[in-house]
Amino acid sequence: MLRMLALAPCFLAPFRSQAEASNLLTISVNIPGPHLLPFIPIELIPRLGLDQAVGARLAIRYLPSGVQSLDDVVAGNAQFAGVAFPVLPTFLANQKPVQAMAVLGSGTPPYAVLIRNDLAGRIRSLGDLKGRSIGIAMGNSITKTYLQMLMELWLKANGVKSQEVRWVPTGQNYEAMLGALAGGVVDAIFCEEPMAGSLARKKLGVTLASLSDPKNPVRLVGQEHFRAVIASTPTFLDQHPRQAWMMAAMIRKVLLWIQTATPDEIVARLGIADQERAEDIRHVLAQIPGLFSRHGHFSSREMASTRQFLKVAGIAMPASKDITALIDDRWIVRAR
């Protein structure tokens, strides 16, 4: 009898866990991916159990771009979205109120332009892309993606206007970029590391130029701008403070974990089956320390840099509005 009593907790534990799991509040978030550098913190949350630590279950859904991720939130199909901050003014201008509630990372990320192998002898500079097709993650008819904003600025600095190239929409993931290059669908692609490095290493494309190259002569104005953020609608944030606090708490916890984790530990937690791709991500994380925000806050320095970036990119806020209208930081400040 005593033996049975001693074993009882062992048998009850799974049922207790199931009961506890059923009480978790599901929080849904859309992000581009999988395994895109800016949104790796979000993917780590459930793998580290940080969602359950705050009483939630984080449900992640992958969409082709940040614009589509946020559009889906505006439509009411998800609660939060991972998106680049510079696309938010266009949402507001088109009567789609949205607000960023936490920062995942700031600054210009490691993006690169790759061309097809057979064009390596004919396309030697960004200026040679005039009249060519470029594969890139696209938004919708009224909202450009952050990638397209960056690529247009980069082309302009090299004497090529946006209308002088043919934009071809592709998914914002490795398979889509590989298919566009290998299938001859495009002449070039614009993507970020580690995708660019993986494709070049496998000789599926040739690197034409990289924003992370120290020899790159282009220095974009407002380099410390808010880049990857988690956003939602003001209505949702006001009406669901519990979910907003939980999302902010999860973000703070994962950013704190990343600060002390090694690239090896981060990649191991992601559980990427393809070891070559896992190594590519590990390499980039090791090469670019400080890729992610330390606390998720909106700093005044980055705020000023964001205003500069939006101005040079030709992205105007609606009349009488400042970018502070696109930020609701009360949750990330409280989520300590």
**Span 237-276, pLDDT tens digits:** 999 999 999 999 999 999 999 999 999 999 999 999 989 8
Q: What pLDDT is recorded for position 304?
A: 94
Residue 13 included in any domain: no
**Per-residue tokens: 189:** 């692609």
Residue 155 included in any domain: yes
218 phi/psi in degrees, rounded to 5 = -80, 125
Give the count of beta carbons closer than 10 Å to the beta carbon of residue 329.
Answer: 17
Domain boundary among 144, 176, 210: 210
Whether 250 and 330 map to the same domain: the answer is yes
Which tens digit of pLDDT belongs to each residue from 17-53?
554 566 899 999 999 989 989 999 999 999 999 999 9
Q: E-strand spans in 140-224?
A: 166-169, 188-192, 206-210
Q: H or E element: which one contains 102?
A: strand 99-106
Whether 189 and 255 map to the same domain: the answer is no
Q: What pLDDT is recorded for position 282?
A: 93
d(CA 321, CA 312): 18
Which tens digit of pLDDT belongs to each residue from 299-311?
999 999 999 999 8
Q: Indicate if the pLDDT at residue 217 is higher than 70.
A: no
Confidence category of residue 216, pLDDT binned at 50, 70, 90: low
Which one has a higher pLDDT value, 127 or 138? 127
Give the count of beta carbons closer than 10 Å to the beta carbon of residue 76.
Answer: 10
Q: Which amino acid is at 26?
A: T
Residue 327 included in any domain: yes
**Per-residue tokens: 2:** 């005593």
Which one has a higher pLDDT value, 2 or 75? 75
**Residue-number span of the structural domain to which 188 is assigned:** 111-210
Residue 216 included in any domain: no
Which tens digit of pLDDT belongs to each residue from 313-322?
888 888 778 9
**Per-residue tokens: 221:** 């104005």
Residue 1 included in any domain: no
User: Token match 């840099």: residue?
Assistant: 305
DSSP-assigned states of every residue in 19-69: HHHHTPEEEEEEEE-SS-GGGHHHHHHHHHTHHHHTTEEEEEEEES-HHHH
Total domains present in the chain: 2
Q: What pLDDT is recorded for position 110?
A: 80
Whether 104 and 228 map to the same domain: the answer is yes
The answer to whether the beta carbons of residues 221 and 309 sit under 8 Å apart is: yes
CATH number, domain containing residue 199 = 3.40.190.10
- Whole-angstrom Cα Rg for the chain: 21
The answer to whether the beta carbons of residues 57 and 51 sit under 8 Å apart is: yes
d(CA 66, CA 314): 19
Q: What angle do CA 108, 284, 119 make, to 5 degrees?
A: 75
SS3 state of residue 248: helix
* Buried residues in 164-201 as b, exposed as e (16+ CB within 10 A): ebebbbbbbbbebbbebbeeeebbbbbbbbbbbbbbbe
Which tens digit of pLDDT belongs to each residue from 276-286?
889 989 988 99
Average pLDDT, whole number, for the chain? 87
Q: What pLDDT is recorded for position 23?
A: 86
How far is CA 145 from its chain centroid? 11
Whether 119 and 100 map to the same domain: the answer is no
Whether 187 and 44 map to the same domain: the answer is no
Q: H or E element: which one contains 268?
A: helix 263-270
Burial of residue 322 (CB within 10 Å: 0-12, 13-18, 19+) is exposed
Percentage of the chain modeled with pLDDT above 70: 89
Q: Indicate if the pLDDT at residue 5 is higher than 60.
A: no
DSSP-assigned states of every residue in 234-246: HHHHHH-HHHHHH
Whether 181 and 309 map to the same domain: the answer is no
Q: Indicate if the pLDDT at residue 125 is higher than 80.
A: yes
84 phi/psi in degrees, rounded to 5 = -80, 135
Query: Average of pLDDT values for 233-237?
Result: 98
Residue 7 included in any domain: no
Find residue 61's DSSP bridge partners: 30
Query: Average of pLDDT values for 64-86?
Result: 95
Whether 103 and 133 map to the same domain: the answer is no
Whether 190 and 233 map to the same domain: the answer is no
Q: What pLDDT is recorded for position 213?
A: 72
Residue 11 included in any domain: no
Confidence category of residue 9, pLDDT binned at 50, 70, 90: very low
Q: Indicate if the pLDDT at residue 4 is higher than 60.
A: no
d(CA 63, CA 121): 35
pTM of the model: 0.83
Q: Indicate if the pLDDT at residue 16 is higher than 70.
A: no
d(CA 88, CA 93): 9
Which tens digit of pLDDT belongs to each residue from 132-163?
999 998 776 667 888 888 899 889 888 999 99
Residue 74 gets which letter from DSSP?
A: H
Burial of residue 140 (CB within 10 Å: 0-12, 13-18, 19+) is middle
